[in-house]
Amino acid sequence: MNEPSTEEKQTVNEAPPNQEPLTINQEPLTINQERDLPAKAGNAPLEIFNYWKEVMKKGPNTTFSKKRMDKVKARLKDGYSVDFIKQAIYGCSITPHNNGTDPKGNGQKYDDLELICRYAENVERFAENANQQPQQRFGQHVSKTLDALNNMEWDDD
């Protein structure tokens, strides 16, 4: 009588020695399943995506699309740190043209993660915006109004 081989002894959920356990259906996770997992240490693109969703107040149905993921990965590959990209996200969130508050605009928002990370220059520009004073961010028309208000004499009655 022949002994069953090691392979024949393994059940569906068992992994070969020295390997990770297999999923029940023995299929790797799809990209959509990976996107739905909570961010783990070392998963920089997902950490950036989750930060962007929080800062831009995106809903739970907002997905980490391949297009967004590819742009984030490209900027990380360019050498930009997670913190620098997060700074760019914040900078975009306070830029009137991008957050829909520009008086010359129509309220349209231009704040997608893909846009922020589309080019290295975008990341750098938005990161710089994060460090600007309010007068610099809001443009000349608002700066003049703020200056006028700051220079007004107020009655203390």
The 3-class secondary structure across 110-156, one letter per residue, is: CCCHHHHCCCHHHHHHHHHHCCCCHHHHHHHHHHHHHHHHHHCCCCC
| Predicted confidence band of residue 141 (pLDDT cuts 50, 70, 90) | low
Share of the chain above pLDDT 70, in %: 64
In our burial notation (b when 16+ CB lie closer than 10 A, e otherwise), range 68-96 reads: bbebbeebbeeebeeebbbbbbbbbbbbb
Q: Is 108 helix (H, G, I), strand (E, B) or coil?
A: coil
DSSP 84: H
CB 59 within 8 A of CB 68: no
Question: Each residue of 14-70: pLDDT tens digit?
Answer: 445 555 544 444 454 454 444 444 455 579 999 999 999 999 999 999 999 999 999
- pTM beyond 0.75: no
Residue type, 134: P
What is the rounded average pLDDT for all residues in the chain?
77
As to burial, measured by CB atoms within 10 angstroms (0-12 exposed, 13-18 middle, 19+ buried), residue 106 is exposed
